[in-house]
Structure 1
Amino acid sequence: MDALRLSTMRCDGTVTVTVAGELDIATTGQLRAHVAHALTEGRWSRLVLDVGGVSFIGAAGLGLLIALQRLAHGQHTALYLAGVTPSLLQLLRVTQLEGHFRRAGP
């Protein structure tokens, strides 16, 4: 099991949460609480989830991404995914969620 590691950076109206490790039923609560706390620390126009370090994402992790998008929207904050790996992109395509998320960066 690859423990979840989270870090947060704030700059110019954007809060970026970097996620590394496994995103599954055992770790989704930790990420949800971390993001909820980050969103309440200020007014953010963008929330960027950098998922480039995620080594595994399960069904609970996918569900959490949708929940976090709703949470951000409720705070008038747009959620973006950064660092989307080819395997995560394939998973988003297979589950028909690819168009559901905005992508940050190139």
Structure 2
Amino acid sequence: MRRIIAVPDSTMLASARAHDAETSGVRNYEVRVLDWHVRADSLNMCIIDADTEDATVFLAFSGETEQEMTGLRIRGSRAVAYFARYYNQLWNEAEPLPEFVNERSRQA
């Protein structure tokens, strides 16, 4: 499983450090940190079975308040392939969580 997170403030940095410690020994789980300093949430996406007939992507969208969350499911390998390519672009620009945490610890 691959996960991308943003760490825009000190509260999220503390959470990222704890998450790194909790998951450092988990095989097949990798987290990267994307530099995201926009005051709006990013698209939340979960891609399942991208290379199969059952390819599915779940999208979640935040609203103007914390109570406003909507989403949808898209099935089909062609549509999911577009989202997978977009996700991979973000993944390639993101920094591995352990490196991010270590770098921020040295800066503190």
TM bin (shorter chain): under 0.3
Q: Which structure shows the higher strand fraction?
A: 1
Task: Return the TM-score normalized by structure 2.
Answer: 0.26
TM-score when scaled to structure 1?
A: 0.26
